[in-house]
């Protein structure tokens, strides 16, 4: 499988992938008068004008270590949950959240702020992530964050072809909430947060080897779409 001995709860499984067909449907509220939709639309498909990728949450099939489960990633971002164990990651003493960040999933915006689609991590899980995750072998930095707000989504950008069928144009594109031209053409796969009041910290030592793989169990499924939280900036446009 992989070198992981702890399977992060945010990771996707092959049996969770949903390949429902997408189409363009009329919408007078967009620039072109149309937007992406699933053929069998549901009220939970959209958030702020963007279509979110459907996924299951049954953890069935083979672990896909390079892919995030959209629903679990979104819940981690909205509720400040640890991407590894699924528990709430906020430091009880300082009330700050912790992040392990590497350049592929982090974009610096200012001296103490930046954007990422990587969920937070609790202090307990940091040494285990450093031990298991190959992505964290180089250029990883540890930060505590005082404030977050939703900046937009990471997703696949489509445009209609001459027959009006969605054609994939770009993958893994950051689309901010105020980009109203691109939102109707985007299939969102993860939420992107703006991290504010960032403070860098020294990395701890990686955890010692663990002989047996551990899968996340007993992590509660939260309401979907998740409710807005009280302790951070309002994440979405009204």
Three-class SS of residue 236?
Answer: coil
The overall average pLDDT reported for the chain is 88
pLDDT in tens, 208-238: 887 555 555 444 444 444 444 334 443 333 3
Looking at residue 59, the DSSP 8-state letter turns out to be -
Predicted local confidence at residue 137, as pLDDT: 79
| CA-to-CA dists, residue 220 to 9, 22, 126, angstroms | 11, 30, 21
pLDDT grade for 133, boundaries at 50, 70 and 90? confident
pLDDT in tens, 181-194: 999 999 999 999 99
Long-range contacts of 37-45 (CB under 8 A, 24+ apart): 44/224, 44/225
Average pLDDT value for residue range 80-105: 95
Q: Percent of the chain, pLDDT > 70?
A: 87
CB-neighbour burial class of residue 231 (10 A; exposed 0-12, middle 13-18, buried 19+): exposed
pLDDT in tens, 64-85: 988 999 999 999 999 999 999 9
Both tokens of 161, joined, read 């072809």
Compute the Cα dihedral for 193, 196, 200, 206 and give only its sign.
negative
């Amino acid at each position: 499988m992989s070198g992981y001995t702890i399977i992060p709860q945010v990771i996707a499984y092959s049996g969770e992938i949903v390949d429902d067909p997408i189409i363009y449907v009329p919408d007078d509220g967009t620039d072109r008068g149309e937007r992406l939709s699933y053929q069998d639309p549901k009220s939970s498909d959209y958030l702020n004008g963007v279509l979110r990728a459907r996924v299951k949450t049954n953890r069935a099939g083979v672990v896909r270590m390079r892919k995030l489960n959209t629903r679990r990633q979104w819940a981690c971002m909205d509720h400040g949950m640890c991407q590894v164990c699924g528990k709430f990651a906020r430091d009880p003493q300082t009330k700050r959240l912790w992040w392990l960040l590497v350049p592929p999933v982090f974009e610096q915006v200012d001296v103490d702020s930046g954007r990422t689609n990587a969920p937070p991590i609790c202090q307990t899980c940091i040494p285990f992530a450093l031990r298991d995750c190959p992505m964290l072998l180089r250029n990883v930095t540890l930060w505590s964050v005082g404030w977050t707000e939703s900046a937009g989504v990471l997703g696949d950008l489509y445009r209609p072809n001459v027959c009006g069928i969605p054609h994939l144009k770009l993958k893994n594109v950051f689309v901010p909430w105020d980009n109203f031209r691109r939102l109707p053409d985007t299939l969102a796969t993860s939420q992107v947060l703006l991290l504010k009041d960032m403070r860098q910290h020294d990395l701890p030592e990686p955890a010692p080897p663990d002989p047996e793989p551990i899968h996340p169990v007993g992590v509660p499924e939260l309401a979907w779409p998740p409710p807005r939280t009280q302790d951070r900036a309002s994440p979405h446009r009204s």
